[in-house]
Homo-oligomer: A and B are copies of this chain.
Amino acid sequence: MSEKRTDPRILRTRKFIMDSFIELSSKKEFKDITVKDITTEAMINRATFYYHFDDIYDLLEKVLSEELLINLDCSIYEKNKLDEVAFTEIFKATTNFQMSLSNRCHRGYEDTIARIIRDQLEVIFFKMLLNHHPSENDEALKLMATMMSWGIYGASVEWRRTNEKIPPEEFIKTVIPYLKNAIKS
């Protein structure tokens, strides 16, 4: 439907910036990365950075969001059904994402990262709940989505605390019946 071509310069530059940021993140902590570092690595002008992103936090947010979304199988969105498969996939995506993050060590910024992940999860859950209960009022669904995002994120933290001994799908399996009950009409 809404077919809007985006200028290839924009895609290119955005990618350069994001890739440079990811590259730098593997070398030093987030707090030591400056906008100048990024633009130098990306071979672009500093002003151009601000053409694409508000600031370095905005960049971080977008990098993390996009990467989390990549982890999420698109098929979930297609059917838009909040069943056990969807729960499992979302949890797996979250743990996957956390594992890839820990390799790249954005040290000193964990809480912000956590917030971004939860925000993303909340958006996903809200969309799906909306699909499940079209007649329910938005406030209730919104709060439900919030709680589910915190819950899933908390579970992934707990999973990581156990040193990833159990596969994510096993780990989350036991509580899925409760989740399913929770969203029953």
Q: Which residues of A contact B (CB under 8 A)?
A: 8, 12, 43-45
Contacts and interface: CB of A to CB of B under 8 A. Distances in A.
Nearest to A43: B12
A8 B12 CA distance: 15
Contact of A45 (B8, B43, B44, B45): B8
This protein's copies in its complex: 2
Nearest to A11: B43
A51 to B, nearest CB: 14
Nearest to A44: B8
Nearest to A16: B12
A43 B12 CA distance: 8
A47 to B, nearest CB: 12
A44 B8 CA distance: 8
A44 B12 CA distance: 9
Contacts of A44: 8
4 contacts: A8-B43, A8-B44, A8-B45, A12-B43
